[in-house]
Amino acid sequence: MANYHNLSNEALQEKYNTLQDAYEKIASQQLQLDMTRGKPCTEQLDLSQPMLDVLTSASAVKTENGLDARNYGILDGIPEAKAFFASILDVSPEQVIVGGNSSLTMMHDSIVQFLLHGVSEDAAPWVKQGNVKFLCPSPGYDRHFAICEALGIEMIPVAMTPEGPNMDEVEKLAAADPQIKGIWCVPKYSNPDGITYTDNVVDRLATMKTAADDFRIFWDNAYTVHHLTDEPDELKDIITAASKAGNSDRVLQFASTSKVTFPGSGVSVLASSESNIAFYKKNLSIQSIGPDKLNQLRHVAFLKDKATLADHMKKHAAIIAPKFQTVLSILNEKLGGKGIADWTNPNGGYFISLNTMEGCAKQVVELAKKAGVTLTSAGATYPYGKDPYDANIRIAPTLPPIQDLKKAIDVLCLCVEMVSINHLLH
Ligand code: PLP
């Protein structure tokens, strides 16, 4: 395939004209394809349908310590759910709070608590310490950035590398500025790049010097069991690494079953040091009388243990891995070797990250929209919605049926080619 950077203007113009004809044909079909968010498809949701039938008798609604899960109580999660998540996250049940239906809510609540009450009993509230800043490895998860923006936390973008955040930058910034109170991390199959942090990155995060003694790592391990291949990435356990370095309170690890069972009806979990858990629980006691314990019971009865969960996730992979392959093979076929885009090939998670030439992503997303394909807004993967390179586009392959996915990625590739050629010509 000819690299477009080596083509004459005439050759580029000729290609553009052909592409434009194809674009107009597709646009006239009035497609309505929504690729904006990483949601499981119906077949994936069907995998967990039997979970809704597990609580059928009065004995099934008793927790293992004999409490009636239909009633108020047990603020930090039922014991069997704590044991289940502790085994998945390699911590002890005492280091776990099992919550409601959303880990994002737990992240938001943790930050609000730290702003209002500080990170511990004797720490000063962040709001009383001046301008609060967070390091934001980018591209990253748009909803993390939305939390910071809504709560007035200044975001400092840090570049992502194939190994995780650029640690030279992170260490330098965190050591220099006591106003930097935290960092967002999606350490496994990151959203959107699908990168898993290397051991070295995990160790550096766990051990680095921070100017703020109330610095916290928001370790959003949303995709910890969401492998796409039989050779999953391994992520080093940061809670142990931080604890060994004398920083046991530094890390708050979050996860949920949103993309294991039902998004919006899953179970969330926070794992951290016992003292962080105790403090979170104290704050939580003002906010809630207890979580949805019936849902926790359902989840434990259905997902059972590590091995059963792994089998269940293999069924997810069997449904979605072919969708990832479809996207990758179209990208290869249509854009490969042209020097106008590159993309990730993740071993897990929910996204493929497509990078156009600088200054092209916004136009690509607009052009695709006009042809009926809605993608996540360009820039959404950066703090304040501003991608300094205007290059990153997040592809979420899981939701559409494969035929729709093919059409959508065809349109996307067409748009990348058209916008890139325009860019090269002008
Ligand atoms: N964290 C990441 C990295 C995500 O990609 C998502 C959903 O896309 C969430 C958290 C949301 O998790 P929950 O449904 O538990 O709130």
- List the pLDDT tens digit at each of the 426 positions of the chain: 689 999 999 999 999 999 999 999 999 998 899 998 899 999 999 999 999 999 988 778 999 999 999 999 999 999 999 999 999 999 999 999 999 999 999 999 999 999 999 999 999 999 999 999 999 999 999 999 999 999 999 999 999 999 999 999 999 999 999 999 999 999 999 999 999 999 999 999 999 999 999 999 999 999 999 999 999 999 999 999 999 999 999 999 999 999 999 999 999 999 999 999 999 999 999 999 999 999 999 999 999 999 999 999 999 999 999 999 999 999 999 999 999 999 999 999 999 999 999 999 999 999 999 999 999 999 999 999 999 999 999 999 999 999 999 999 999 999 999 999 999 998
Q: Is 141 in the pocket of ligand 1 (CB under 6 A)?
A: yes
Q: Is 256 in the pocket of ligand 1 (CB under 6 A)?
A: yes
Question: CB 199: neighbour CB atoms within 10 A?
Answer: 14
Q: What is the pTM of this model?
A: 0.97
145 vs 117: CA distance, rounded Å: 21
**Stretch (H or E) spanning 413:** helix 402-425
Among 351, 308, 405, which residue's Cα sits nearest to residue 88?
Answer: 308
pLDDT, position 2: 87
Tell me, what amino acid is at 207? T
C-alpha 254 – ligand 1 centre gap (Å): 9
Start-to-end CA distance of the chain, whole Å, equals 22
Q: Are strands 373-375 and 352-356 parallel, antiparallel or unpaired?
A: unpaired
Q: Is 185 in the pocket of ligand 1 (CB under 6 A)?
A: no
Among 351, 323, 348, 352, which residue's Cα sits nearest to residue 335?
Answer: 352
Domain 62-304 belongs to what topology? Answer: Aspartate Aminotransferase; domain 2 (3.40.640)
Q: Is 258 in the pocket of ligand 1 (CB under 6 A)?
A: yes
pLDDT, position 30: 86
Tokens at residue 359, please? 């200054």
226 vs 189: CA distance, rounded Å: 8
Which amino acid residue places its CA nearest to atom 4 of ligand 1?
222
Q: Is 107 in the pocket of ligand 1 (CB under 6 A)?
A: no
Q: Is 260 in the pocket of ligand 1 (CB under 6 A)?
A: no
Contacts of 278 (CB under 8 A, 6+ apart): none
Cβ distance 98 to 76 under 8 Å? Answer: yes
Q: Which atom of ligand 1 is nearest to the CA of 141?
A: 3
C-alpha 58 – ligand 1 centre gap (Å): 33
Question: DSSP characters for 147-162?
Answer: HHHHTTPEEEEEEEET
Ligand 1: residue of 85, 102, 104, 218 to mutate (most ligand atoms within 8 A of CB) is 104
DSSP type of residue 336:
T
C-alpha 226 – ligand 1 centre gap (Å): 12
Q: Is 84 in the pocket of ligand 1 (CB under 6 A)?
A: no
Q: What are the residue boundaries of the structural domains of the chain, listed by start?
A: 4-45+310-425, 62-304
Ligand 1: residue of 37, 190, 258, 262 to mutate (most ligand atoms within 8 A of CB) is 258
Q: Are strands 33-35 and 373-375 parallel, antiparallel or unpaired?
A: parallel
Number of continuous H segments (helices) and E segments (strands) in the chain: 13, 13
pLDDT, position 289: 95
Ligand 1: residue of 39, 136, 141 to mutate (most ligand atoms within 8 A of CB) is 141
Q: Which atom of ligand 1 is nearest to the CA of 255?
A: 15
At the top level of CATH, which class does the domain 4-45+310-425 belong to?
Answer: alpha beta
C-alpha 123 – ligand 1 centre gap (Å): 29
pLDDT, position 374: 95
Q: Is 387 in the pocket of ligand 1 (CB under 6 A)?
A: no
C-alpha 104 – ligand 1 centre gap (Å): 6
ipTM of the complex: 0.99
Q: Is 263 in the pocket of ligand 1 (CB under 6 A)?
A: yes
